[in-house]
Structure 1
Amino acid sequence: MRLLTFERHGAVRLGVLAHDRSVIDVAERDGRPEFQSMQALIEAGPAALADLRALADSPGPTLAPGSVRWLAPLPRPAQMRDFLVFEEHMRTAGWNGAKLRAKWGGPSAPPEPQPIPPVWYEQPIYYKCNRFAVAGPGACVKWPNYSSVIDYELEIACVIGASGRDISENDAPKHIFGYTIFNDLTARDAQFKEMQGPLGPAKGKDFDNANILGPVIVTADAVDVGNLAMRAKVNGELWSEGSSSTMHWSFAQMIVHVSRSETLYPGEILGSGTVGGGCGLELGRFLKDGDEVTLEVEGIGAVSARIDAPHVQERLSL
């Protein structure tokens, strides 16, 4: 199933995207508590999901998709973690980051990408995102005034459906509720400055509407994330192409790592990190005021956001 959260007449509702692409207002058909929000549905478990599937397959009224305001499918995640599991991104982004810092007067960049730290191959690496900075399809992102280097990041995210601790790799897929698209917007100049600490990222990632999710959550039984085409377009122009098949660490392995001596809860989100070639830093060019960024992932859909940055009128490049 393809699940969404939308707003209509001032009320936030749980929806199902029907086969004809119309929207089923779930609570309008069945007002039980577990159908009042995406989080309530996730927490209710497999039985509630099976009941929702039966409801969605039955006849009933639907809404035109353009008649509602689409929100992030999980507007307030229980927690957010973003990983770094694509080797090409790890290599190229680090090298281009060094070149960008050199352009700003920092140390000279090495002539070629440097070896990836051994720890990256030993365990999945992640940081915790600001779960209050989530926005959905069509969001306008007012860029922070402390930054002039505007970047997107093309990612997939999994949504945790069942709690667990010390989860095995074989059991990990049972804990995944579904998948969505994640645009991890980044203020690169702020990120590079603060991570010299070394700590972070912090204000390079944490600002209002920085975490774009959507357009739907596709339930885990309806998509195989092992080999999905991933694309990013800016104002309709293709900038990035990649594939989920190039992940070095799987979502199951991420779950194993996070759940070591720590409980994962329903409604948590784990981002994949940026696919190789999936951000402006790797391409050597960045966004500017008015740009519309659209991320597309095969089997999930497309989610767009517009940049509002009147102080950035020119496109910075390496």
Structure 2
Amino acid sequence: MRLMTFQDSGGDRLGALVDGDTVVVDLAAAADPNRPAFASMQALIDAGERGLAEARKLVADHPEHTRRPAGSVTWRSPLPRPVRLRDCGLFIEHLAPTGKSMAKRQAASADDPEAELARLLASGRYDVPKLVTERVLYYGADHLSVSGPDEVINCPSYSAHLDYELEWAAVVGRTGRDITPDDAHSYIFGYTIFNDWTARDTQALIAQAGFGVGGDSKDFDGSTTLGPCIVTADEIADPYALEMSAWVNGVERSRGTTRRMHHSFESAVVQLSTGKTVYAGEVLGSGTVRSGTSFENGWQLADGDVVELEVEGIGVLRNRVQIPGR
């Protein structure tokens, strides 16, 4: 199924996309009013396999009055407030060119930029640590700052350099602890597109201080965009054979493939559940595919640009950016 969240005068509602994503079926309207499983995406996730089976029946045989044109509703993030949100380093190929770009930015203000760049690169500070090849590293993203399709993304006032990141994500469907590799796939509810918006100038300052790549550079209103829908895991035959691309104002700017993931979502589920609990409704970001940012490719978004991220089998996630002074 292709599940989404839309908004009407009564608030957020759970929908399913049919007829080539041109029609939304209002699942709450189609279901028995005494069934809470269709009150929200989180409620459906919590309902487990039984809830999904009921949802499939509703989609297959829904009343006409529950159908709405997809273009007539306001799309929301499919999970407007995930129970937890972590961005993992499952793609690692982009780390080397991104590190070099950050070193160039820092060296640019030196009296001799080329010499300073050589010094910084020789220091090893911008090398890719071996640990990222051995473990799934992650940072906790702000689950209170999630945005959805077609929302305007505002560059925070302390930054002048907003960037997109081409990613996708798995949504955890079951709560568990010490999950084994053989069972890990059964804990994945579905997949969505993930745009990890980043204030690059702020990120560079934080990185110089040795506090990683997050903080204020990724914690601002709307800084994580999810959508346009969640495609249930059974709909994706091979999640590690999908094409990914980013388009800005209709021009392709980034292209990659999930084949290049160094770690899998299943590996993340296993590691993150070792000795601790993962919860139904958590979102696990993939990290950025190589070439999946403007920063890595040596250019910068401008005010009013429209960014579209596309992942095969999921759809297109579209947003316009607002960057004062750009």
Q: Name the TM tier (shorter chain).
A: over 0.9
Q: What percent of counterpart residues are identical?
A: 45
Q: 1:136 & 1:256 partners in 2: Cα distance? A: 28
More displaced 10-residue stretch of structure 1: 275-284 or 197-206: 197-206
* Structure 2 residue ranges without an equivalent (≥5): none
Aligned mates of 1:279, 1:65 — CA distance in 2? 29
Partner letter of residue 118 of structure 1? K
Instruction: Using the TM superposition, give the Cα deviation of residue 150 of structure 1 relative to its aligned residue in structure 2, in angstroms.
Output: 1.4
Q: Partner amino acid for 2:245?
A: R
Instruction: Find the aligned partners of 2:131 and 2:154 in 1 and give their Cα distance.
Output: 36
Looking at structure 2, the residues matched to 189 and 306 of structure 1 have their Cα atoms a distance apart, in angstroms, of: 20
User: Do 2:90 and 2:265's aligned partners in 1 also have CA atoms closer than 8 Å?
Assistant: no
- Residue number in structure 1 paired with 2:48: 45
**Cα distance in 1, alignment partners of residues 4 and 81 from structure 2:** 13
- Structure 1 position 94 matched with structure 2 position 106: no
Match of 1:76 in 2: 81
**Superposition deviation, residue 166 in structure 1:** 1.1
Contact 1:88 1:277 in 2 (8 A): no
Alignment match, 2:231:
218
* Kept after mapping to 1: 8 A contact 2:155/2:161: no
State whether residues 84 and 90 of structure 1, in contact with CA within 8 Å, keep that contact through their aligned partners in structure 2.
no
Alpha-carbon contact 1:17-1:23 (below 8 Å) kept? yes
Separation in 1 of the partners of 2:232 and 2:2? 7
Which deviates more, 14-23 or 114-123?
Answer: 114-123
Q: Which residue of 1 aligns with 2:8?
A: 8
Q: State how 1:52-71 maps to structure 2 within 5 Å.
A: 52-61=55-64, 62-71=67-76
User: RMSD of aligned C-alpha atoms?
Assistant: 1.6
Q: Deviations over 1:44-99 (max 9, x none)?
A: 10111011001100142210001100000000000000012223211111111111
- Aligned pair partner of 2:222 in 209, 213, 216: 209
What is the one-letter code of the residue matched to 2:320? R
Counterpart check, 1:125 vs 2:133 = no
Offset of residue 308 of structure 1: 1.1
Indicate the larger mover: 109-118 or 190-199. 109-118
CA distance in 2, matches of 1:115, 1:102: 16
Is 1:267 the counterpart of 2:281? The answer is yes
Offset of 1:195 from its aligned partner? 2.4
Give the secondary-structure state (helix, strand or coil) at the position aligned to 1:167.
Answer: coil
Alignment of 1:124-273 (within 5 A): 124-200=136-212, 201-223=214-236, 224-273=238-287
TM-score by length of 1: 0.95
1:173 aligned partner, one-letter code: H
Contact 1:242–1:277 under 8 Å retained in 2? yes
Q: Which residue of 1 aligns with 2:36?
A: 33
Please list every run of 5 or more consecutive structure 1 residues that lacks an aligned counterpart in the other structure. 314-318
Asked if structure 1 preserves the Cα contact closer than 8 Å seen for 2:193 and 2:228, the reply is yes
Structure 1, residues 168-215: CA drift from partner, whole Å, max 9, x if none?
111110110000000000001111111223224100000000101000
8 Å CA contact 2:45–2:281 kept in 1: the answer is yes
State the alpha-carbon separation in 2 of the partners of residues 16 and 275 from structure 1: 28
More displaced, 265-274 or 116-125? 116-125
Q: TM-score, normalising length from structure 2?
A: 0.92
SS in structure 2 at match of 1:127: strand
The answer (yes or no) to whether the contact 2:163–2:200 under 8 Å persists in 1 is: yes
Q: What is the DSSP-based 3-state SS (H/G/I as helix, E as strand, rest coil) of the residue aligned with 2:177? A: coil
In structure 2, relative to structure 1, the CA distance for the partners of 1:46 and 1:285 (3 Å cut) is same
| Separation of aligned partners in 1, 2:319 and 2:83 | 23
CA spacing shift, 1:53–1:104, aligned 2, 3 Å? farther
Q: Matches of 1:87 and 1:27 in 2, distance apart? A: 41
Q: Give 1:115 deviation, angstroms.
A: 4.4
Aligned CA distance change for structure 1 residues 118 and 20 (closer, same or farther; 3 Å): closer
Q: 1:16 corresponds to which letter in structure 2? A: A
Conservation of the 8 A alpha-carbon contact between 2:160 and 2:324:
no
